[in-house]
Amino acid sequence: MARREEAQADRIAGRLTRRQLIELEACTRCGECQVWCPVFLQDKRECISARGKLSLLQRLVNDGLPDTELQDFLQGLYECSACGQCHVVCPVRINTHELWEQTRESLVSAGIPRPETQTKQLLTIKRANNAFDKPQQDRGLWAKKAWEAGLLKAPVPLWREQPSSVLYFAGCTASFDPEMQSVAVQTARLLQEAGVEFSILGDEEPCCAGKLRRMGDLEFKAEAEKRISLFAEKGIKEIVVSCAGCFKGLHSDYAALWPGAKKVRHLTQFIDRLIQDGKLRLKHAVPLTVTYHDPCHLGRHNQIYDPPRRILQAIPGLKLVEMPRHRAFSSCCGMGGGLKLVNPGIQHSMAGVRIREAESVGATAVVTPCQTCYMGLQYGVEETASSMQVYHLNEMLIRSVCPEVSCGEISARFQHLQTT
């Protein structure tokens, strides 16, 4: 190996852990990862499967790779939703999704660039503090608008004005994406219905920076530490997040840096507890047969399988049916790991597969507590021209607790506010 390639291989290896380097050689090459991989189902090249990537990465860190194989490896690495299915089925239990994220970081540190679309999004996140390139002062506007539109029982207090025991961390998508602001509004309303005292950071709320980790940005740690300092400075003890991606970021990615990560809860965990404690009452029937889509960031990555199911089962009139692939074997919709940015076509097909699976069990709707999966599954509906409905879990809850804050109502009232 030439000296330059050797130095590059050492730089890549140096950013992986010893365990990860051993894992590269521990692969039995059984191919179990391949038969479960939702991306491989769409692109049947060996370099797409975990087995192929492990083999190429092993050669890359030891001997270097010829250019054509390096390109194959990069394609496999970035055309991966890092869903973690391969980790769950691996007989050796190689912690693949963590390895892919770490490898992305390693490659960038060794001067091998990531796809341009991902780089662009990362730059936007770091510059604007959100992936939507929206001004930071608009971040808390959803709460103001919701109050003005009569969708909330009381105004949502800002932490700087009224700190409370719980911080609701809405995240970039629910704060800025007009299609998804209903998630933030409904979360706030549900918490109010249950009598939870909470505040939001408003324009002080940062992006969780989880996407930086997903795409292997070298500044992830520094950015995470900034957020951790902010939480410490504000005296925040407990955080509730409605976004599965933010939960993965704040709860899992920060765990190595911040003991407080253990106090970050996903909304489904929080609501489940409120229902069990009798604080949130599900009054109205929701006569639907639904199936539940486990988001990778909640399920496989954080073992949150039961709380959302318990919530759905507690809704009167709602019937929950499981898809063949559920819980730890839930098929990814393709929205994670930056895959959508690199190859939207594959994401659409993956989501299409999931929609077909939902149809196969007789469900009329797919419910998910992740807004990213929600959007991803919508692409699947388009792809398959299906009549399947896709709902965020909040919508099911709201229809049972206070139907006047349904998505349709929020959208109509926001529109009305805008015109007046």
Partner 1 sequence: MQLMVDYPKPWLLFGVATVISLGYMGYAFILKWRAWNRGAEETRRAEGGRGRATWIWLAEVLLQRQLFVLSPGRWLMHILIFYGFAGLLFLSLLASVLRPLALLGLDRGLSSFFFQGEGHLFIKLWGDAFGLALLAGLVAALFRRLFFRSVQLDNSQADVILLVSLLWLALTGFALEALRVALVPVWQARYSFFAQLFVSPGAYTYNQLQPWLTALWSLHAFSVLGLMLYLPHSKLMHSLLAPVVIAMNALGEQDREDIYWPDVKKHRPTGSPGA
By the criterion CB under 8 A, which residues form the site for partner 1? 10, 13-23, 25-32, 34-36, 46, 51, 61-62, 87-95, 252, 255-256, 302-303, 305-306, 327-329
Conformation bin of residue 339: beta by default, left when phi > 0, alpha when psi is -120 to 50: alpha
Q: Which is nearer to partner 1, 46 or 148 (CB)?
A: 46
For residue 147, the minimal CB distance to partner 1 (Å) is 37
What is d(CA 51, CA 170) in angstroms, rounded to the nearest whole number?
37
What is d(CA 114, CA 131) in angstroms, rounded to the nearest whole number?
17
For residue 293, the minimal CB distance to partner 1 (Å) is 17
For residue 151, the minimal CB distance to partner 1 (Å) is 35
Q: Which is nearer to partner 1, 140 or 216 (CB)?
A: 216
Residue with tokens 């089925």: 89
Q: Which is nearer to partner 1, 94 or 156 (CB)?
A: 94
Q: Are 85 and 36 in contact (CB under 8 A)?
A: yes
Task: From residue 229, give the alpha-carbon distance in Å to each of 6, 170, 324.
Answer: 38, 19, 43
Q: Which is nearer to partner 1, 85 or 186 (CB)?
A: 85
Containing 136, the helix (H) or strand (E) segment is: none
Q: Which is nearer to partner 1, 16 or 200 (CB)?
A: 16
Q: Are 15 and 109 in contact (CB under 8 A)?
A: yes
What is d(CA 397, CA 347) in angstroms, rounded to the nearest whole number?
28
For residue 352, give both structure tokens: 């299409």
Give me the phi and psi of 266, to 5 degrees please.
Answer: -85, 150
Q: Which is nearer to partner 1, 40 or 391 (CB)?
A: 40
DSSP secondary structure, 51-106, as one string: HHHHHHHHHHHHT---HHHHHHHHHHHHS-----HHHHH-TT---HHHHHHHHHHH
Q: Are 352 and 48 in contact (CB under 8 A)?
A: no
Q: Which is nearer to partner 1, 144 or 327 (CB)?
A: 327
For residue 251, the minimal CB distance to partner 1 (Å) is 9
Q: Which residues contact 178 (CB under 8 A, 6 or more apart)?
A: 414
For residue 85, the minimal CB distance to partner 1 (Å) is 11
For residue 286, the minimal CB distance to partner 1 (Å) is 26
For residue 275, the minimal CB distance to partner 1 (Å) is 20
Residue with tokens 């039961």: 306
Residue 283's CB is within 10 A of a number of other CB atoms, namely 10
What is d(CA 306, CA 241) in angstroms, rounded to the nearest whole number?
17
For residue 390, the minimal CB distance to partner 1 (Å) is 25
Q: Which residues contact 397 (CB under 8 A, 6 or more apart)?
A: 186, 190, 271, 282, 311, 315
For residue 28, the minimal CB distance to partner 1 (Å) is 4
For residue 31, the minimal CB distance to partner 1 (Å) is 3
